A and B are shown apart, each in its own frame.
Chain A
């Protein structure tokens, strides 16, 4: 299985901050990486696919980059609605795997 490691596990930030979350794969996954946002009690929501493609309707303050084994999700200016959990997912091969998640909390 491909292991996905996210860092940090928790991130404390303020409204307006630039925030970066990293996801590392245990082997190359090309650009087959997605990012999801999840709020308490809700299903995950797809934000980015193919490492950097923004899903329709997702604000442009979200961006993704990377290829191979290292990827980042950046929120350019954190908004109150962005305090949530974020998960990366590799879909290069079966079994599909997720990172352990990053909680973005209010500083």
Chain B
């Protein structure tokens, strides 16, 4: 079974750093891109960016470029989303998701991780 399992909920203060994870299993991790999607409370889905673990090729939405860092460690089949200095406005649910098609980042997402809730509050 193809599965993405994300790390647990986080509560942080503004200015702190954070790295959340997404572990893939049941498929060839280096053959599929993995993307990240933000959902702020009560709002829609926002595509943040995507990485190809095979060669670490990464694409960002202009809205998130410079605000977050996407990385992957293919040795442990895990992708990461990282902030160096969190803001209250980063409070959201973050999903990782894998495109349904091999080798392309422009493909619908299926499956999705269960989500990681990040709360940033002083």
A residues with a Cβ closer than 8 A to B are 1, 32, 34, 36, 38, 43-46, 49, 55, 87, 89, 91-101
Contacts and interface: CB of A to CB of B under 8 A. Distances in A.
Contacts of B110: 46, 55
A96 B105 CA distance: 9
Contacts of B46: 98
Interface string B100-122: 10000111111011110000000
A33 B9 CA distance: 31
B61 interface: yes
Interface string B54-84: 0000011111000000000000000000000
5 contacts: A1-B61, A89-B108, A95-B61, A98-B44, A98-B46
Given A44-B112, A46-B100, A94 B44 contact: no
B103 to A, nearest CB: 14
Given A46-B110, A96-B47, 6 more contacts: A43-B112, A44-B109, A91-B108, A94-B106, A97-B47, A101-B43
Contacts of A97: 47
Nearest to A97: B47
A27 to B, nearest CB: 15
B62 to A, nearest CB: 7
Contacts of B63: 95
Interface in B14-67: 35, 37, 43-47, 49-50, 59-63
Contact of B47 (A32, A55, A98): A98
Nearest to B109: A46
A104 B62 CA distance: 30
A43 B108 contact: no
A91 to B, nearest CB: 5
In this complex, which of A45, A46, A93 has the most chain B Cβ atoms within 10 angstroms of its Cβ? Answer: A46
Contacts of B100: 46, 49
Given A91-B107, A95-B61, A43 B95 contact: yes
In this complex, which of A32, A95, A97, A101 has the most chain B Cβ atoms within 10 angstroms of its Cβ? Answer: A95
